[in-house]
Amino acid sequence: MRDLIAAAEAAADAAGAAIRPLFRSPLLVEAKGDASPVTEADRAAERSIRALLAARFPGHGVIGEEYGADRPDAEYVWVVDPIDGTRAFVTGRPLFGTLIGLMRGGRPVLGLIDQPATGERWIGAQGEALRFRGAMGGTPGTRPCATLAEAELSCTSHEMFTSAEAPRFARLQRACRRATWGGDCYSYGLLALGLIDIVVESDLKPWDWAALAPVVEAAGGAMTDWQGQPLRLDGPGQVIAVGDRALLPEAVALLG
């Protein structure tokens, strides 16, 4: 695992070197097929990540948001989102992050969240405690939260829910103490620092969640689909992340 973590960190360093010069600078923003913004920073960062991983582990597969899948049936598959939260990036908000996850046999075993503007980094690896570095402070580990009535809920946007999902999410939101919006992957990092208790989202692609699950779990939390089942590459992209595992049955019941 040590070599895998070192490679993920080196890849994040390379991505950050591509991203930082373009943050809060004039950018030519194009529209992808799903109408989300993409910049040269996304593409340059993913190219840097792929090149480093290919050099160190030529037999591993890679799935990336910008350049697709290469050997996705390999035992080890890296799942990469060079800039998760591109809208935050292009509007100058440091809530985006680089996500580098590693799947083994279809299950997440390693995840890294890197915020290249603030220098914060979360690393979660199977069987190991969460690693966190950040000049702004923060203690790795989730906090106790016995019921949703005490919970801080976070979600990137209500627009991600379908007409069938929205009422289910609304039930959960009413049960929580408070809801905040925005954050993308950064919200999961804050959950792993005990500052948020639950994140519920939908329409996530594998590169949106593969790196997050090991971070949440290494911090002491849990991350599942809306049925409380393990996340799958071919799943519907519905995600629940909780800091206190006691919240999971209540959340699943309200979202069911």
pLDDT, tens digit, 9 for 90 and up, residues 136-149:
888 999 999 999 99
Helix (H) or strand (E) holding 17: helix 2-19
Closest CA relative to residue 242, chosen from 208, 211, 201: 201
Phi, psi of 232 (to 5 degrees): -125, 150
The CATH T-level fold of domain 148-255 is: D-Maltodextrin-Binding Protein; domain 2 (3.40.190)
Which CATH code fits 2-133?
3.30.540.10
Phi, psi of 154 (to 5 degrees): -135, 150
Alpha helix stretches (DSSP H) within 147-247: 165-175, 185-191, 206-209, 212-218
CATH 3.30.540.10 residue ranges in the chain?
A: 2-133
CATH 3.40.190.80 residue ranges in the chain?
A: 148-255
- pLDDT tens digits along 155-171: 999 999 999 999 999 99
* pLDDT average per 10 residues of sequence, the chain (256 residues): 96 96 76 66 93 96 93 96 91 94 96 97 96 89 96 96 97 97 96 98 96 98 97 94 98 96
Helix (H) or strand (E) holding 220: none
- Count CA within 13 A, CB hemisphere, residue 69: 10
Inter-CA distances, 112 with 12, 13, 157, Å? 8, 11, 23
Model-level pTM? 0.94
